[in-house]
Amino acid sequence: MKVPFLDLNKQYQSISKEIDEAIQRVILNSSFIQGREVDEFESAFAQKQNSSHCIGVGNGTDALIIALKAIGIVAGDEVIVPANSFIATSEAVTAGGGKVVFADVEPDTYSINPQEIKKKINSKTKAIIPVHLYGIPAEMDKIVQLAKECNLFIIEDCAQAHLAEYKSSTEGWRKVGNFGQISTFSFYPGKNLGAYGDAGAILTNNEELAIRVRMLANHGRIAKYDHLFEGFNSRLDGLQAAILNVKIKYLEEWTEDRRRNVAHYLKLLEGIEGIEVPRIHSNSKPVWHLFVVKAHKREKLIEFLSKHEIQTGIHYPKALPNLKAYQYLNHNSAEFPISNYNQDKVLSLPLFPEMMMEQIEFVVDKIKEFYKH
Ligand SMILES: *Cc1c(COP(=O)(O)O)cnc(C)c1O
């Protein structure tokens, strides 16, 4: 049985008529940049995330850079990011004019460890960027507490966590993206809500920040040639917005399908020696962008699964401080023990909403077979 890592084509087939019509509509109206589709999507996404303001931008990396500019990052400001994430999180800090400071992650949830954040805070620290990695919410209660105590901004990187929920001890269940001052999303095609090209968004409940973000993303202007400062050209385009307007209607359903698939995996994987599964706290409802386990003898397992036509991934093969891009920070590997352990063990198993139960059972059967030998 063939098990692809992800099957975007299968999803397209299920909504092709609506998608094709949406694309046609944008072309006929020539509403390529901004326009009605973008407005519609911004309000639909804000509503789904229970946030007051949504600003569509070019992609999730731009969203982070613009968010950093919006909170006023200047040269010398330090921004704390997890040692285990996609490089966009840290890259944006540098591009936004700040200095990258890594903090190690938690073993169970893979997200940034509040204790480790605390160790990295000093007088130059301006912001924290927690990432809800793989769709699992970070420990926001403790991070919010720290940020309050030290007067820091929080930018939540929600690129992998559309609709994920976290139960705050003071405010109850809330969607991620509402715990800091500002949050960022990616609609890269493979993300839980994916466009057919690059796209992203910024959410905030602060009106002043919303206005600033909207100007930053559009050449620092409000009216056509009235530029109040220099910004960027990073706008959500009409075609991507129209596609997202179709897909957002299915996001809850697809999220439930992901949850059902992961529940099935977790049940079947129980007690397999050689595999560690993520442990989810009761105050968190993940949306499972990826289903990441820690596998012993990982490379051999990947080879075995691939021989049986099961595709897997590694997110990410190198912890950020170990990348050549960050050699200049002169970290040694003992500084991030969990991230270093993870880079050698993490394995992303196939996961997408349209996956069949038999495919999951086949994957787990093969994993069992591998560890038996
Ligand atoms: C995908 C991703 C981004 C960047 O999004 P793009 O739209 O690809 O620029 C940022 N952070 C994380 C954690 C991501 O997974």
Q: Looking at ligand 1, which atom is closest to the CA of residue 131? A: 13
> What's the CA-to-centroid distance between 59 and ligand 1, angstroms?
8
Start-end of H helices in 97-225 = 114-120, 140-150, 207-216
The answer, yes or no, to whether any atom of ligand 1 lies below 6 A from the CB of 61, is yes
Q: What Cα–Cα distance (Å) separates residue 142 from each residue in 58, 106, 129? A: 31, 13, 13
Tell me how far apart the alpha carbons of residues 334 and 87 are, in angstroms, rounded to a whole number: 20
For residue 319, the Cα-to-chain-centroid distance in whole angstroms is 16
pLDDT at 113: 98
The residue whose C-alpha atom lies closest to atom 12 belonging to ligand 1 is: 159
What mean pLDDT, rounded, does the chain reach?
A: 97
The answer, yes or no, to whether any atom of ligand 1 lies below 6 A from the CB of 86, is yes
The residue whose C-alpha atom lies closest to atom 6 belonging to ligand 1 is: 60
Q: Looking at ligand 1, which atom is closest to the CA of residue 200? A: 7
> What's the CA-to-centroid distance between 189 and ligand 1, angstroms?
11
Q: What Cα–Cα distance (Å) separates residue 199 from each residue in 62, 202, 221, 234? A: 9, 11, 21, 9
pLDDT tens digits for range 292-316: 999 999 999 999 999 999 999 999 9
The crossing angle, in degrees rounded to 10, of helices 298-307 and 357-372 is 130
Q: 181: helix, coil or strand?
A: coil
Contact (Cβ atoms closer than 8 angstroms) between residue 293 and residue 277:
yes
> What's the CA-to-centroid distance between 270 and ligand 1, angstroms?
31
Q: Looking at ligand 1, which atom is closest to the CA of residue 198? A: 7
Probe residue for ligand 1, chosen from 6, 57, 59, 61 as the CB with the greatest number of ligand atoms within 8 Å: 61
Complete edge-to-edge strand list for the sheet that includes strand 291-295: 275-276, 291-295, 346-349
The answer, yes or no, to whether any atom of ligand 1 lies below 6 A from the CB of 192, is no
State what percent of residues in the chain have pLDDT above 90. 96
**pLDDT bucket at 373, cuts 50 / 70 / 90:** confident
State what percent of residues in the chain have pLDDT above 70. 100
Q: What does the pLDDT average to over 200-224?
A: 95
Tell me how far apart the alpha carbons of residues 365 and 252 are, in angstroms, rounded to a whole number: 29
The residue whose C-alpha atom lies closest to atom 5 belonging to ligand 1 is: 60
**pLDDT bucket at 363, cuts 50 / 70 / 90:** very high
Tell me how far apart the alpha carbons of residues 161 and 18 are, in angstroms, rounded to a whole number: 25
The answer, yes or no, to whether any atom of ligand 1 lies below 6 A from the CB of 37, is no
pLDDT tens digits for range 316-361: 999 999 999 999 999 987 899 999 999 999 999 999 999 999 999 9
Q: 162: helix, coil or strand?
A: coil
Q: Looking at ligand 1, which atom is closest to the CA of residue 160? A: 15
Tell me how far apart the alpha carbons of residues 78 and 125 are, in angstroms, rounded to a whole number: 4
| pLDDT of 123 strictly over 90 | yes
Longest dimension (CA), the chain: 69
pLDDT tens digits for range 9-32: 999 999 999 999 999 999 999 999
From the list 304, 195, 296, 202, the residue with the least C-alpha distance to 251 is 195
pLDDT at 69: 98
The answer, yes or no, to whether any atom of ligand 1 lies below 6 A from the CB of 186, is yes
Q: 24: helix, coil or strand?
A: helix
pLDDT at 307: 98
Task: Please give the structure tokens belonging to residue 169.
Answer: 């001890």
pLDDT at 197: 98
Strands 182-186 and 200-204, by their bridges, are antiparallel
pLDDT at 108: 87
pTM of the model: 0.98
The answer, yes or no, to whether any atom of ligand 1 lies below 6 A from the CB of 85, is yes
Element (H, E) at 127: strand 125-128
> What's the CA-to-centroid distance between 186 and ligand 1, angstroms?
5
| pLDDT of 77 strictly over 90 | yes
Probe residue for ligand 1, chosen from 84, 176, 184, 188 as the CB with the greatest number of ligand atoms within 8 Å: 188
Tell me how far apart the alpha carbons of residues 329 and 319 are, in angstroms, rounded to a whole number: 14
**pLDDT bucket at 222, cuts 50 / 70 / 90:** confident
Tell me how far apart the alpha carbons of residues 69 and 86 are, in angstroms, rounded to a whole number: 20
pLDDT tens digits for range 152-198: 999 999 999 999 999 999 999 999 999 999 999 999 999 999 999 99
The answer, yes or no, to whether any atom of ligand 1 lies below 6 A from the CB of 183, is no
For residue 126, the Cα-to-chain-centroid distance in whole angstroms is 22
pLDDT at 309: 98
> What's the CA-to-centroid distance between 64 and ligand 1, angstroms?
9
pLDDT at 93: 98
pLDDT tens digits for range 237-265: 999 999 999 999 999 999 999 999 999 99
